[in-house]
Amino acid sequence: MDLALHWNRGAIRLKDIAERQEISKKYLEQIVIPLEIAGLVRSIRGAGGGYVLTRAPVEIRLDEIVRILGGPLTLADCVGDPQCCTRVNFCATRDLWQRMTDAISQVLEPESLQDLVNKQLSLGGVHGQNC
């Protein structure tokens, strides 16, 4: 979110993000690794270095971020792969897991990182404030 709020302003140091968001730099270092591997962020070395988004915030969907950081959006293995369970055809809870998974997808898929930025800006928070 912080990288999106500062989109097109150059590389952002994790130290600065940590201070603004009041979270641990070590925690951010763990988050940025899978985002960089997935090609969502890029590190820039040297003076003025830090991290930048590789695409505009409007092009980054929230479900993509969640999948990168947390894996599939399915809440139970059988939702993503019905073959993994022999009880799938007579399991009373599978339908519940499926509906919950669908609900999460319906919330995340249409939303972009830019949508969150717009919401944050409408709430008045950008520089030096938590988001």
**Domain span holding position 2:** 1-60+112-131
pLDDT of the residue at 128: 45
CATH number at residue 3: 1.10.10.10
Q: How many domains, the chain?
A: 2
pLDDT of the residue at 126: 61
Give this prediction's pTM: 0.81
Question: Residues in the chain with pLDDT < 50?
Answer: 128, 130-131
**Cα separation, 51 vs 30, whole angstroms:** 13
Q: Does residue 93 share a domain with residue 125?
A: no
Q: Does residue 39 share a domain with residue 9?
A: yes
The DSSP secondary structure of 30-77, one letter per residue, reads HHHHHHHHTTSEEEE-STT-EEEESS-GGG-BHHHHHHHHH--S-SSH
